Amino acid sequence: MLYVEILGSLPGMATDEVRTLLGREPVGRDHLLLTVEGDPAPLTRLGLAHEFGLLLFEADSVEELLRRAKGFDWPIEGTFKVDTETMSNCVHDVRELPRRLGAVIHSQGFRVNLSRPDSVVRVYCGERLHVGLRLHAFDPKEFEARKAHRRPFFRPISLHPRVSRALVNLSRAREEVLDPFVGAGGILIEAGLMGLRVYGVDVKPEMVEGARLNLMHYGVRDFDVRLGDATRLEEVFEREFEAVVTDPPYGTSATLGGRARDELYREALASIHRVLRRGGRLVTAFPADFDGESEGEAAGFRLVARYYQRVHGSLERYFYVFERP
Ligand SMILES: C[S@@+](CC[C@H](N)C(=O)[O-])C[C@H]1O[C@@H](n2cnc3c(N)ncnc32)[C@H](O)[C@@H]1O
C-alpha cells in the first residue's frame, strides 16, 4: 500500500492526477493524504503532490500507534528520523510523537540522524494517524526554477509548472503532446521533461523562437515547434496527435492576435477535434465566463472532468479534461 500527500490548492485535480497515473481509484483518503495501491514508479511524474511513500500502518490514537510500533518490522535502511505532518483536520495531540516513536524505533537497533537521515518515517495526523516510509519528496525548488520569470525567454502569462505537469498527466499522454497555443512553452517543458515528444504552435514568430529557446534551456531536445494557427492545425502538421494540452490566451487583444475571443476558442476546439486521435484527450483552460462544457460538447468532445481555479480578483478559470469519442 502507498500514500500520496497531495497539494491543497487544487485538491480535485490533484486526486485525479494520482488516479490517472495509477489507472485506479484511491482506496482511502484523509484530507490531503490519499491511500493507493499499485506500482509507485509512475508517481514520480506527479505535479500536484508533496511526496509519496509506503504506507506501513494506521492507528486511531497515539497510544495505539506506539503499541503497534513496538512489534513492527521496520523496513528502515541506514539511519532514520521521524517527521510528523499535522494536517488541518488533525484530531490527535502529536507534539511528543516524533520523540516517543523515535525512541521505540531506536530501541530496535536503528540509529537516529536528524539532519541527514537515510530513511524518513512519516506520520500524518488527520482523522486517523497514518505511518509511512517516504519514497520520494518533490523538491519545490525544482518547480520554482522553471517558473516563468526564471526562463531565458520570459512572458508573464504562464501556468505554474506544477499545474502544467498535472494537465499533461490528466491528458494520459504516453508518447506525445501538442500545445496549439504554445506561448513561452511552459506546458511543453514539463511534458518534455517527462520524456514525451512535444509539438507546439503559435501565431507569433517571437513566441515560436522563445519556446524553442526555453525548451533547449531545460534540456528538452525532442520538440517540433512551428509557426501556425491553432484554428488550422491540420494544415500545420498534417497528422493526428495522441493528446493535446493547452492554455489559450484569455483576452488581451495583443495575445488574441486581434480576433474575437470566443470565436477563436470555438474554431480552435473544432481544429483540435480534427487533429486529435479517437480516444485521445484534450486538457485545456478557459476563463469562467466561457461555457467550455457546452462549447466542447458542440465541437464533438465528451467532458471527463473540470476544475475551478480563482487566479486573481478578476480572473477565474476552469480546467477541462475532454475526450474525443
Ligand atoms: C496564454 S499564452 C500560452 C502560455 C503557455 N501555455 C505557457 O505556459 O507559457 C497564449 C499564446 O497563444 C498565442 N496565440 C494567440 N492566438 C493564436 C492562434 N490563433 N494560434 C496559435 N497561437 C495563438 C499567443 O501568441 C500566445 O503566445
CA of 157 to the centre of ligand 1 (A): 9
DSSP state of 128: S
**64-68 long-range contacts, Cβ below 8 Å, gap at least 24?**
64/129, 65/97, 65/101, 65/123, 65/129, 65/131, 66/100, 66/101, 66/104
Closest ligand 1 atom number to CA of residue 201: 21
CA of 108 to the centre of ligand 1 (A): 58
pLDDT band at 322 (very low <50, low <70, confident <90, very high): very high
The yes or no reply on domain 2-138 and CATH 3.40.50.620 is: no
pLDDT digits (tens, 9 = 90+) for 13-60: 999 999 999 999 999 999 999 999 999 999 999 999 999 999 999 999
d(CA 298, CA 293): 9
Hey, whose CA ends up nearest to atom 6 of ligand 1? 247
d(CA 180, CA 232): 10
Q: What is the pLDDT of residue 313?
A: 79
Check if the beta carbon of residue 317 is closer than 8 Å to that of residue 287: yes
Does the beta carbon of 5 sit less than 6 angstroms from any atom of ligand 1?
no
Angle (CA) 53-54-55 rounded to 5° is 115
Q: Would you say residue 258 has pLDDT above 80?
A: no
Does the beta carbon of 201 sit less than 6 angstroms from any atom of ligand 1?
yes
CA of 96 to the centre of ligand 1 (A): 52
Parallel, antiparallel, or unpaired for β 176-179 and 197-202? Answer: parallel
Q: Would you say residue 211 has pLDDT above 90?
A: yes
pLDDT digits (tens, 9 = 90+) for 112-153: 999 999 999 999 999 999 999 999 999 999 999 999 889 888
Hey, whose CA ends up nearest to atom 10 of ligand 1? 249
pLDDT band at 79 (very low <50, low <70, confident <90, very high): very high
d(CA 256, CA 259): 6
The yes or no reply on domain 142-323 and CATH 3.40.50.720 is: no
Does the beta carbon of 249 sit less than 6 angstroms from any atom of ligand 1?
yes
d(CA 170, CA 305): 10
Hey, whose CA ends up nearest to atom 1 of ligand 1? 249
Does the beta carbon of 251 sit less than 6 angstroms from any atom of ligand 1?
no
CA of 17 to the centre of ligand 1 (A): 24
- pTM of this prediction exceeds 0.85: yes
Closest ligand 1 atom number to CA of residue 158: 8
CA of 207 to the centre of ligand 1 (A): 8
Does the beta carbon of 183 sit less than 6 angstroms from any atom of ligand 1?
yes
Closest ligand 1 atom number to CA of residue 268: 19
Domain ranges in the chain are 2-138, 142-323
Q: Would you say residue 312 has pLDDT above 90?
A: no
Q: Which three cell numbers stand for residue 229?
A: 494557427
Q: Would you say residue 254 has pLDDT above 70?
A: no
Parallel, antiparallel, or unpaired for β 33-36 and 2-6? Answer: antiparallel
* Residue 302, H or E segment: strand 302-312
Which amino acid makes up residue 277?
R
Closest ligand 1 atom number to CA of residue 207: 27
Does the beta carbon of 236 sit less than 6 angstroms from any atom of ligand 1?
no
Closest ligand 1 atom number to CA of residue 179: 6
Select from 202, 217, 231, 311 the residue to mutate for testing ligand 1; criterion: most ligand atoms less than 8 Å from CB. Answer: 202
Give 227's Cβ-side CA count (13 Å radius): 4
